[in-house]
Amino acid sequence: MAGTWTSLQNQPNFNADTMLLLTDGTVMCHQLNSRNWHKLTPDSSGNYIQGSWSSMAPLPNNPVIPAINRGPTNAPLYFASAVLRDGTVFVAGGEHNSRIAHSDILATQIYDPVSDTWTIVNPPTDWTQIGDAPSCVLPDGRLLLGNINSNRTAIYDPVQQIWTAAANKGDNSNEETFTLLPDNTVLTVQCSNIPHAEKYIIATDTWVSAGSTPSILPQACPGAVAEIGPAILLPDGRVFAIGATGNTALYTPPANPSNAGSWAPGPTLMDGTGNTMFPMDAGAVLLPNGKVLCVGGPTPPCNYPGPTTFFEYDPSTNLASVVTSPSNNGRPCYFGRFLLLPTGQVLFSANSKDIEVYSPDGHLDPSWRPSITSVPTTLEPGCTYTLTGTQLNGLSQAVSYGDDAQMATNYPLIQLKNTATGVVVYPRTFNHSTMGIQTGAAIHSTQFTVPPVNPGPAQLCVIVNGISSDCVNVTIGVHNDHHRF
């Protein structure tokens, strides 16, 4: 058995590129080769398939983009992106700009969803390009950015609004995929030093060896840095790394983060007739059932042909099975973008006006659920509250692509459902106490502001990576005494 595909009832009137899940439950979607962003809002029952589109503020013109790259117009394709700890959005770079190939622009900016405004941020000191650099939000809320031209890395602090130089890697970050691990390290398979892997130890600001993969994962192509696929942290703590060669591998972190860890073979991605599929720049997503939805394209890989073939990888069997493809699978797999929704469904865009929705089958392990330990049970619209609980950031970043797009969803969303009417809203969350994953029994927190909603009884749940906690009963209204359960 596998999941099913459904088309959005209201398809976008633009070619959809990178998608990001905002902390108010809406989806922020970039329009291909443009400054423009659009928002998908679920309907009043929380249904994204029946959701509606609206316009958002476009990216600001940026003077760091030279005229030769059609600057100052800021219209990137293939760029770094992340939802930050405070609910704002980081967007930086662009391999292409305004349809000028290999621009590798430096433009860096932060989007504030409350004010619907962008703020230009200075790029890392002395960097000449960002382009399609990989990035990763660290547990403390800072952001690690790789350099595509050298072994330099930099860290952005959104609170101080400053960049600092981080330790040098073993190679440059070009085409690589950064994956956050539970031991406060960041794993990457090197694309210019095959078959080696390395990881960043956050506490000591050092890069150390992560051993060598058992098979070749990066796909070499003439005149270019080797490509690679995504890498997903599984609920059991291993990383499922998908090679552009069609080979896959499983990384087990060591007890001591300074040690290399170990690798084991994964399955080769093959279509129904036994042909190897090549995830040459491609996405993957961890489903709530614990399987990984991933993709590949046919040979010859360096020509980037379509169509895209879809797989579900099952960690319990170490097998990858072909599943039904959506109607927008005709293009190369590098066009595809996944986004995990709070409903547990997955959006798939392919640089077109067709976005499809995957509804996975199966059941989740109850131990994967976040839990609520404390939240006010009387809530007033317009007021801000604190929720505490466990596993609020989930077991994984859950969504991976690599250098061309980062769309991780390891942050808590809150759902309020009116008991009488069934109307669903997602109060905006922010100031999460951690962005770390697999935090176990540790108590963490997030703040949320209640939007305008009708008074009365409601159910409140916290959701991360499409997995909901048990819900608690709350009352919406104006009260002085905010009881806690």
Reported as a single tens digit per residue, the pLDDT across 177-211 is: 999 999 999 999 999 999 999 999 999 999 999 99
8 Å CB contact between 386 and 372: no
207 half-sphere exposure, CB direction, 13 A CA radius: 22
Find the mean pLDDT for residues 77-96.
98
C-alpha to C-alpha distances, 14 to 36, 59, 350, 378, nearest whole angstrom: 10, 16, 11, 42
Look at residue 432 and tell me whether its pLDDT is greater than 70.
Answer: yes
Q: Which residues contact 128 (CB under 8 A, 6 or more apart)?
A: 106, 149
Q: Is 374 helix (H, G, I), strand (E, B) or coil?
A: strand
Closest CA to 292 of 404, 385, 397: 397
pLDDT digits (tens, 9 = 90+) for 119-178: 999 999 999 999 999 999 999 999 999 999 999 999 999 999 999 999 999 999 999 999
Pairwise CA distance, residues 11 & 50, whole Å: 10
**pLDDT score for 402:** 75
What distance in Å separates the CA atoms of residue 281 and residue 334, rounded to the nearest whole number?
Answer: 5
Considering only CA atoms, give the Rg of the chain: 21
- For the stretch 238-274, pLDDT in tens is 999 999 999 999 999 999 999 999 999 999 999 999 9
Three-state secondary structure call for residue 7: strand
Three-state secondary-structure class, residue 346: strand
Q: 162: helix, coil or strand? A: strand
**Nearest of 358, 368, 392 to residue 461 by alpha carbon:** 392
Nearest to 483 by CA among 403, 411, 395, 375: 375
d(CA 117, CA 59): 9
Torsion of CA 447, 453, 455, 459, to 10 degrees: -60
Fold of 366-476: Immunoglobulin-like (2.60.40)
pLDDT in tens, 358-395: 999 999 999 999 999 999 999 999 999 999 999 999 99
113 has pLDDT over 80: yes
pLDDT at 479 over 70: no
pTM of the model: 0.97
Distance between CA 376 and CA 380 in Å, rounded? 10
Mean pLDDT value across residues 42-62: 98
74: tokens are: 């800021």
- As given in the structure block, the two tokens for residue 111 are 């989007």
> Rounded to the nearest 10 degrees, how much is the dihedral formed by the CA atoms of 302, 306, 312, 317?
-40
Residues making up the chain, counted from first to last? 485
pLDDT band at 403 (very low <50, low <70, confident <90, very high): confident
Contact 170, 177 (CB under 8 A): no
Instruction: Determine the residue type at 442.
Output: A
Distance CA 138, CA 185 (A): 9
Q: Which of 11, 10, 12, 14 is nearest to 35 (CA)?
A: 14
Q: Which residues contact 366 (CB under 8 A, 6 or more apart)?
A: none
Tokens representing 162 are: 């400053």
Residue 484 binned pLDDT confidence (cut-offs 50, 70, 90): very low
Beta bridge mates, 217: none
* 67 has pLDDT over 80: yes
CB of 399 closer than 8 Å to CB of 408: yes
Domain layout of the chain by residue ranges: 11-133, 366-476
- Half-sphere exposure (Cβ direction) of 60: Cα atoms closer than 13 Å: 16
At 119 the pLDDT is 98
Query: Comparing 11-133 with 366-476, is the CATH topology the same?
Result: no
Kindly report, residue by residue over 436-472, the tens digit of the pLDDT. Answer: 999 999 999 999 999 999 999 999 999 999 999 999 9
226 near 238, Cβ under 8 Å? no
Q: pLDDT band at residue 482, thresholds of 50, 70 and 90? A: very low
The pLDDT of residue 162 = 97
As a whole-number percent, the residues of the chain with pLDDT over 70 amount to 98
Q: And the tokens for 356?
A: 């499809």
- Residue 434 confidence (pLDDT) above 90: yes
Confidence at 308, pLDDT banded by 50, 70, 90 = very high
| Side chain identity at residue 325, one-letter code | S
Name the CATH topology of 11-133. Neuraminidase (2.120.10)
Q: What is the overall mean pLDDT for the chain?
A: 96
Parallel, antiparallel, or unpaired: how do β-strands 456-464 and 413-418 relate? antiparallel
Average pLDDT (338-353) is 98
